[in-house]
Amino acid sequence: MKELFFLVVVLYASYAVMAKEVSPKVQIYSRNPGLYEKPNVLICHVSGFHPPEIRIDLLKNGQEIADAKQTDLAFEENWHYHLTKHASFTPKEGERYSCRVTHVGKTTTHEWDADV
């Protein structure tokens, strides 16, 4: 009987940990220093989130960058997930680049800052 009780407690605790909703941490940056008119790679790294359902969009002036690539979804030992999306770009003065993340119905947008 003790074993059954212990098993139920462990299963409940595991479910409680996995059911917890955790908002993503978002980092947007470029591979090289952000200089205008220099080819570069825009990167959006999203980590520490749960559940795994998420959408990441890289944007140029509010429009989705069509040729962006995304890594496979991966997770840490605590069942929090991470994902990275990237696209080649050549920043120009006056253009805005950003990363839009939608997780469990909540959308946030994070702006990239050039180093100039």
Domain membership of residue 82 as a residue range: 22-111
The pTM for the full model equals 0.82
The residue ranking higher by pLDDT, 13 or 92, is 92
Domain assignment present for 14:
no
Joined together, the tokens standing for residue 69 give 């690539």
Q: Could you tell me if residue 26 is inside a domain?
A: yes
Q: Is the pLDDT of residue 116 over 70?
A: no
Residue 11 lies in a domain: no
**pLDDT value, residue 10:** 45
For residue 51, say if its preceding peptide bond is cis, omega within 30 degrees of 0.
Answer: yes
63 in a structural domain: yes
Q: What is the pLDDT of residues 73-90, one digit of tens each?
A: 999 999 999 999 999 999
What is the number of domains present in the chain? 1
Query: How many CB atoms are located within 10 Å of the residue 45 CB?
Result: 18
| H or E element that contains 14 | helix 2-19
DSSP letter, residue 12: H
Secondary structure percentages of the chain, helix, strand, coil, to 5: 15, 45, 40
Specify the CATH number for the domain of residue 54: 2.60.40.10
Residue 36 lies in a domain: yes
Domain membership of residue 50 (yes or no) is yes
In a domain, 35, yes or no: yes
Is the pLDDT assigned to residue 28 strictly greater than 80?
Answer: yes
